[in-house]
Structure 1
């Protein structure tokens, strides 16, 4: 990779979409704007803009407060793949030669994005919010009442510290002890059934959800995982590698670049980022440039995809932006309709978590 593709340590603007990808979707530089390298940026219903790639697919201190070591490490590792992209631009049919490299690159691209980080946060907060919204006094009592006896006995045992086993057993047989236990159990059940406890429990969950949105803990953990990936040279898991690859060519240069890494698709026409759909995927798309997309096949009965399918999949699996080498009213319409902040955890999975939470333990 060229030296200018790396960010110096004096800068805080970290790219989570590789600039060697963005450079393959360049548009003509707008008049009266400094810089040479621009792409059209589409963001939902907003008017598309041609922006310098220095400020595209990036965020301030995305990789942490210290320096840009992590982004530079990504640049070093991704530079190995620059030759693969160049080869596929010249001879798309050579895609089968680079199956391993393409799988590893999809894995790397998908992990480093802000899309993954934000969707993890959305998954956590959506689940917590759903649990909070399902709280009722009756549910809380059913969920926790089975724990009352064990908890009360533990409390009473703590008050009998110093007594031996026989003395404790004798104490438990005393009428006064039995009466105290029944009173405490009654009070505990009444509290669990109360709206006061339900309101308190909702506030706890809501506070946890807010903290999950605002705390840097998940960002820091994401950066730690990324650092480990680079340090260990982690590769795409075998079960997520396509069985074969073929090139999809667009003579008119219709393909675009999303901000979620590679794209998974199934035969029903559902799309998701590479990390998200898992075993339900039938194929994988990796846009190389406006004219070439590498298509990885997981299922032998995979449907035939069109250029329009791949563009729609790229747009609908993006988190907040996608990038193109042109202004196109059709792309603007697609952005307004299909550019969604999809949750990495589906509604069905959230429902399963919520139902599991309310099961008596």
Structure 2
């Protein structure tokens, strides 16, 4: 199928339509929303060009774009039903769980934060390539490889002949020579330089190519092909609605955000299973909350607005213009941005060096 829709939305238009503002002067038409950007002054824009990017879901075909269009059609009716009858939200629990997951997973916010986390991890690997931990891992890996080569060389012998050869003076002399060369290379830092250069090149590759974009799209396609369902381990058990009589809620370009078990606000997918509540404003007057518990949600209206702004990657969307929101956009957007915190990142890298929970020294 040939590519037809070059402008792909990563925040659904059906979501944006619930935050519409009046069209600006001298720009007749409909479907405008106020866009609050971290680096530019707020402005009303037609949602056709909001939360979208050329060929975001790939250049070759519209498979993903068409799949999302079908999801949006179903989800739009669910939003309308919840807005009209908030007390009946529980009958949509299955669909909402799946929707929360895909709304967070499909965004540019998620793609760029994944890119940042991966490149940060690789950069930290480069920085720690000469650490004691890394050198220990090099030696272990080389020893493992050496043992495999020895086994391969002696594979044609029976167990007694293998023991005889391995214990012979000639074999032991060769083995000592090889180990001496390995120790010399480790001490001289040859492996450090090779590994550091490799990691640095990998980080630059991910930053300057579409490899991660393509991987993200493949992940989205696989998720939808497998049924597009939220994993049971993180599916919310209870659903709530929080109203705002003053219509204060704004929509983040991250789609959703979460509150962890420790009370921190962060993007949804980065927290894995460490969450208590997930939030999605569906209109200026209503936010839907999925929770693991049956208690009332932790955040109030003001805190939900803060969560939406701080977990936005580049911008957020609102029904009205507000000087205060403009000021908050320049200061607060992307301040709750970590998919992997610095401590967790060090743990990941230590694990890659073969030492779970070890310090990077």
Q: Please give the range of the TM-score, normalised by the shorter of the 2 chains.
A: 0.7 to 0.9
Match of residue 198 from structure 1: 192
The answer to whether the 8 Å contact 2:253/2:313 transfers is yes
SS at match of 1:279: coil
Query: Which segment is superposed worse, 285-294 or 191-200?
Result: 191-200
Match of residue 129 from structure 1: 123
The answer to whether the 8 Å contact 1:285/1:295 transfers is yes
The partner residue of 2:113 within 95, 113, 119 is 119
Match of residue 48 from structure 1: 42
Distance 1:154 1:223, change over 3 A: closer
Pairing of 1:141-290 with structure 2 (within 5 A): 141-152=135-146, 154-155=148-149, 170-266=164-260, 269-290=263-284
Give 1:157 deviation, angstroms.
6.3
Distance 1:17 1:191, change over 3 A: same
Number of equivalences = 354
TM-score, length-scaled by structure 1: 0.87
Query: Which segment is superposed worse, 153-162 or 343-352?
Result: 153-162
The gaps in structure 2 that reach 5 residues or longer are: 357-361
Give 1:123 deviation, angstroms.
1.8
CA distance in 2, matches of 1:149, 1:168: 19
Matched, 1:345 2:340: yes
CA distance in 2, matches of 1:250, 1:185: 70
Matched, 1:316 2:313: no
Match of residue 359 from structure 2: none
Match of residue 328 from structure 1: 322
CA distance in 1, matches of 2:108, 2:228: 19
Matched, 1:81 2:71: no
TM-score, length-scaled by structure 2: 0.87
SS at match of 2:44: strand
Deviation string for 1:45-78 (max 9, x for gaps)? 4322222211111111111111223212211122
RMSD, matched Cα: 2.8
The gaps in structure 1 that reach 5 residues or longer are: 1-7
The answer to whether the 8 Å contact 2:260/2:276 transfers is yes
CA distance in 2, matches of 1:345, 1:258: 20
The answer to whether the 8 Å contact 1:17/1:58 transfers is yes
Give 1:226 deviation, angstroms.
2.2
CA distance in 2, matches of 1:142, 1:247: 53
Distance 1:84 1:155, change over 3 A: closer
The answer to whether the 8 Å contact 2:238/2:294 transfers is no
Give 1:283 deviation, angstroms.
1.7
CA distance in 2, matches of 1:154, 1:105: 49
